[in-house]
Each structure stands twice: as structure tokens, then as C-alpha cells.
Chain A
Amino acid sequence: MGSAILALGHHLPSGVDCAGVRRPIAVEAVGPSTLAARAATSALERAQLTPERVDFIIFATMTPDVTFPGSGCFLQQQLGCGTVGAVDVRAQCTGFLLGLSIADASVRTHTHRHVLVAGAEVHSAGLDYSGGAEIAGLFGDAAGVALIGPATGPGGIRGTVLHMDGRAYDRFWCEFPASRQHPVRLTMENFRQGKHFPVIDFEAVRRFGNESLQAAMRAVLQSTNTPIAQVDCFIISHVLPDVSESAVQSLGIPSSRVNIPALQHGHLTAAALPVALSEQIASGQLGPGATVCLAAAGAGLSWGAAVVTL
């Protein structure tokens, strides 16, 4: 028995001007679990399921509410899901695709029946807005949640491909707090030097994105026997929107069937794909039977793609 996305929900804070660009920013002091709870509530309403029917929660983020425990625990509490398991995963920009893959395996092995996969970020709490827009202006805050369950019709999660190459881990990273630093993970010196802010080697990340996004999409389309013509929408996430655009061109995908969430919202990392998919369903652009290819590449360095029929 396969698995399927039963419903989606998203929450985008309203736009705020930051570092000269308009981005969704959580101005109220809440973490990603609070944004995810709003998105999950919408997803559950659309699926006509109560929170008690959820039996596993997967939370993908790189900006957790607190250092520990995981944001999944806070989401579980806010939704009222009893004592079901809640796991936080860290796979940066491919976190949501990883969550989908775990949920798919969980449902297919009958380990769980209804799995919530949340991708949620509050980047605005960790960016250096004093240093201009080069990095701070790239990111936004948001949450997207997918409810995964047993497939009942022809639709379903048709396939995922996931990759990581940690040999380039410091091309897109945030070093501190760093547990490997003795005697303390974050010193005042680290802090004053701004080492707790993310750093991006744009040239390396661009080159990597150009290679990996199209490779991931080709691989997943091939493994699921899906011709490009059968895909109703490609949702592609990379910190640099023009890298997603060049992947579209190299595969010869008509731009009318492409959604690059970073163009509109800034980069939402783990939240980008479920937010964009949920938005397109909510606006009526995609409905039951539509086939979607999701792809992402970014920090780690990570890359991956999935083909899903709604």
C-alpha cells in the first residue's frame, strides 16, 4: 500500500520591509512550532481529521524554537496529539523532502497511519540585519505542513531522491554555537564577531545548485517513469531564484508550469516546498489528480526531489 498527501496547510506571516526587501517575517516573538501549529490546523481541517488521529509528527527546521527539546514536541503540545512520537530532523533546505520520505516509509510499513510533516522556519530571529541585504534579505519565515496517510486512489507519493555531500559543509553554514569548541560553545568573542550568523559562499552554492537541481529532477522523473509533459507543476527551491530558473531552462520546462517560491517569499528553506504547494492548492491552481515535482538544493550540501500525485 502506498502513501499519499491527504491535505496541506501553510502559514505565512505578513510582509515586512527588512534590509530593503519585503519578506514574510514573524514579528510576534514565536518560534516555528507556533507557525506550524497554524498550518497543521488548516491541513487537519481540510482532511477532516482531529489531532487525535495523528500518530506521528516529523518536524523539519534549521531554526528550532529552543536549543532542545525539538520543535516537534512543542507542535505536538499545541495541537493536542496525546503522547504520539514527535521527531525533529535537520537536513536544511531538503528537510521537507526528507520528512516526506520518512512519512512514506512509515505509512507503507504500517508503522503509522497519519503522519504530519512540518517544514517551518523563523529565520528572522537569527539574521544580521545591520549588515545589509546580501544574506539577511534572502530569507523569510513560514510554515507548511503536509498530512500523509494511506493512498486510497491512484494518487500518492510516487518517489523521492535525497542526497547530501557533507564534504562541502562549510559553504553554506552557521558555525556557532559549536559544541566542538572548548570550553564553551559560544563565547562573547564569537558573538561580537557575528559568528552566530549564517555565511554563504555564493559562487560554490550557485555552481552546486546548477548541477544538482536538474540532476535530482531528472533522477526522480526517471525513477517514477514520469515524462516532463505529465507534470502539472514544478516547485523548485534554492536560495538564489535564478539558479532555480536555470534548472527549469536546462530541462526545457515551460515557465507556465513552474513555481519558484523564493521569488515571492525569499528563501523559506524547509518550509519552501510545502508552503508553495499548499498555496497553489488553496488558490485552485492544483487539484486532485495533479502531478507535482518538488525539488530543492542547499546547505549541507543537500539536494533532492520528489514526484507526488495529489
Chain B
Amino acid sequence: MRHSRILGVGRHLPERVVTNAVLGTMMDTTDEWIQQRTGIRMRRYSDDGVGAADMGADAAQQALRAAGLAAGDLDCIIFATLSPDVDMPASACLLQHRLGIGGMPAFDVRNQCSGFIYGLAIADMFIKAGTCEHVLVVGAEVHSTGIDLTTRGREVAVIFGDGAGAVVLGPEPDERRGILSTHLHAEGRFAEKLWLECPSTRLRPRVTEELITGDEARIFPKMDGRYVFRHAVTRFPEVIREALDANGLALTDLSLLIPHQANLRISQMVAQALELAEDQVFNNIDRYGNTTAASIPIALSEALDAGRIHDGAVVCLASFGAGFTWASALMRW
């Protein structure tokens, strides 16, 4: 069976830089506190009217150029986000609108921090099965309009940033190259440890004045940080080993690990647990914060630009986050 491989990568980071010091003027927090717990120095915020699909379109155009393809060559568009431009339809539809194309299937994957790898796994299945030839997978988020930028919401708000990344995949005839495997997991019993409840169709109606303005403001995300941290440092190593084991590879064969940029302290503990050398792990959370579904393609794009991925390199993408969901994709470049 043929494989799929990444033909081109692109990224878009909004121009507006928000440092920890700037957040300190909006809420009771400090640069030291944020850096110590998360490793984040700054993040980017989009401007009014700029949604995930707008940033995703720019990243997609770069990825298409790198792949030597036109938007019309795509036969499927997969958009991973938890912060869609509008409530309905999917951001994938708005991306088509921005790119001025239509006809090929386009849909959103809503899998939080693991959304990009889940999307990549679906693209891989479609290409392997012969359903598709060229698939665009975008990860894009605008968190800045959905977080509580007051002291009440500081624990979550300081972590997240806006951004977009995109990859174009195509067929790879050599079974030793391209995407070697994907592993997808979820554990819904921990859904409420990191979630954004409202609007919620469990309620009648799904949104009310009280839900928007009440003391709890259930329209903002909530996180049990310690709980998430503890599970992340267990599940990340587990799913990375699962990927390597499935391909008969060892940790020493790994050229580069690109973990979802959740928290620098998590990435450091994962690297330590797996005894990975510093040059085996890519991190950029210090500059962008946690961009959820966008973090892996943004990091992949930067790693390529920095010459960190050579021909034949074994690259592992791994994620853990809300759901809980966790996943890995192993590829030979």
C-alpha cells in the first residue's frame, strides 16, 4: 500500500506581540510567574475580524507553494481548530471562501490539542486508501477572543496564543518513507479537566445572559492545571514509544520530536523521561504560547526553516490535551 508524505509546510503568526508584561497590565500576573510555570515569554493575538480561516489561508498558500501545487489541485481540506471563525459552518468552508475555491470536500476536525494529528491521520488514511491525492491539513486558532483576560481567568489566559500552520500531503510510493504510522487516543472521562462548557446543547437553551455575564462566566475555558500536567507527562512518552515500537525503531533513531507546545515544563519532563538529547526536541512555546491545533504545524514549519529536518530524518509529532486526547505521527522525511 502506498504511503502519504508531507509535500509542503507553511505558517502564519499574527503581527501583534503580547508580552507577559503586557498581560501584567490587564491582570494580576508577572513575567516571572508565567515564565517559571510555562516557559512562555510572549504570544501573538490576531486583530478584529481576522479568524482562524484567514490565518489558515495564508499558511495554506505557503504550504501549497512549497509543494508546487495550486489550491485547485487539492482534493480534500481538513481544518483542525477549537476556535472556529463562526459557530456554523466549519472553518474549512471559510478557508475555501478565502482561497476562492470550492467543490472538493472540506471539513473541520474538533479535537483540541490533538486536532492536527487527528487531521493528519485522516489525510493519511484517505491517501493510502486512494480516496484522495492531495490533502491540505490546517491547524489554526484564535484564542484571544475566548479567554478571560482578567485576574479571574489568568491561569488559562496566560498560556494561549493565536496562530496557524498548514501542511499539504500527497502520495509516497516508497513504503519506507512518508508517514509510517499514526496512533490516536482519547479518554472522555477527563473531559471536564480542561474544557469550555458554553454554549452547551446539554442546556436549554444552549446559551443565556447568565452564562455570558455570571460570576462563573461559563463561556471561558476552565482547566485543572495540575491534573492536566500529570496526565500529559505520562501520555506523551507512552504515545511516542507506541509510535517507535510499532515501527521497530528506538529512541536513538529519533531525529526530531515535535511535541504539541502545551507548556515548556511538560516538554522538558517528556524529554527527560525519554532521555532525549536537547537537539532531538523542538520547542518554540517561549515566543507563541500554546496555539493548540496550530502548534505542531507552526513548529514543523520553523524546524524545517532552521534546517533541523534533513532528508531521511525520523520525525515524531506528538500531542496531549483537552478531551483528554493524545496522539502521535511518525514519519521518515
Contact = CB atoms under 8 A, between A and B. Distances in A.
B333 interface: no
Interface residues of B, number: 83
Q: Which of B87, B187, B203 has the most CB of A within 10 A?
A: B87
Interface stretch (B31-39, B106-114, B248-256, B260-268): B106-114
Q: Is the interface of B mostly helix, strand, loop or mixed?
A: loop
A77 B89 contact: no
A70 interface: yes
Contact of A184 (B109, B145, B194, B200): B145
A63 B205 CA distance: 12
B5 to A, nearest CB: 15
B191 A165 contact: no
A198 interface: yes
A30 to B, nearest CB: 6
Contacts of B47: 182
Interface stretch (A103-111, A234-242, A276-284): A103-111
Contact of A63 (B108, B201, B324): B201
Interface in A82-99: 83-92, 95, 98
B201 A125 contact: yes
A69 B90 CA distance: 16
Contacts of A175: 86-87
A191 B92 CA distance: 25
Interface size class of A (residues with CB under 8 A): 35 or more
A88 B186 contact: no
B87 A196 contact: yes
B129 A65 contact: no
B87 A176 contact: yes
Interface string B294-329: 000000000000000000000000000011110100
Main secondary structure of the interface of A (DSSP, over half): mixed
Given A65-B200, A65-B202, A299-B88, A105 B188 contact: no
Interface string B16-60: 000000000000000000000000000000111111101000000
Interface stretch (A166-174, A243-251, A254-262, A286-294): A166-174
Nearest to A121: B201
B195 A68 contact: yes
Interface in A180-226: 180-186, 188, 191, 196, 198
Contact of A56 (B50, B95, B184): B184
A80 B148 CA distance: 34
B188 A164 contact: no
A102 interface: yes
A174 B88 contact: yes
B196 A125 contact: no
Given A68-B112, A69-B112, A196-B207, A164 B96 contact: yes
A67 interface: yes
Interface stretch (B118-126, B165-173, B275-283): B118-126
B1 to A, nearest CB: 7
Most buried by A among B97, B201, B209: B201
A111 B88 CA distance: 30
Contacts of B108: 89-91
B214 interface: no
B68 interface: no
Interface string B123-161: 001101101000000000110111001000000000000
Interface in B190-225: 191, 194-207, 209, 212-213, 219, 221
Contacts of A91: 90, 105-108
A109 B129 contact: yes
B94 interface: yes
B110 A70 contact: yes
Contacts of B88: 62, 90, 92, 173-174, 198, 299
Contacts of A64: 110, 201
Contact of B94 (A78, A108, A166): A166
Interface in A142-173: 162-167, 169, 172-173
Interface string A70-84: 101111111000011
A163 B103 contact: yes
Nearest to B185: A83
Given A86-B325, A104-B129, A185 B145 contact: yes
A160 to B, nearest CB: 8
A91 B90 CA distance: 7
A191 B212 CA distance: 9
B112 to A, nearest CB: 5
Given A178-B51, A179-B84, A179-B145, A105 B102 contact: no
Contacts of B104: 163-164
Contact of A89 (B85, B86, B109, B186): B109
Contacts of A196: 87, 199, 207
B243 interface: no
A73 to B, nearest CB: 4
B189 interface: yes
Nearest to A198: B88
Contacts of A299: 88-89
B102 A167 contact: yes
A29 B202 contact: yes
12 contacts: A67-B195, A70-B110, A72-B186, A90-B90, A92-B90, A125-B206, A165-B103, A179-B52, A179-B83, A179-B142, A180-B145, A304-B105
Interface of A: 29-32, 56-57, 62-70, 72-78, 83-92, 95, 98, 101-102, 104-106, 108-109, 111, 122, 124-126, 162-167, 169, 172-186, 188, 191, 196, 198, 299-302, 304
Given A83-B185, A172-B89, 4 more contacts: A67-B195, A125-B200, A166-B97, A196-B199
- The list of the 10 closest CB pairs from A to B, nearest first, reads A85-B184, A180-B51, A166-B96, A166-B93, A77-B188, A165-B102, A73-B188, A162-B105, A90-B108, A182-B48
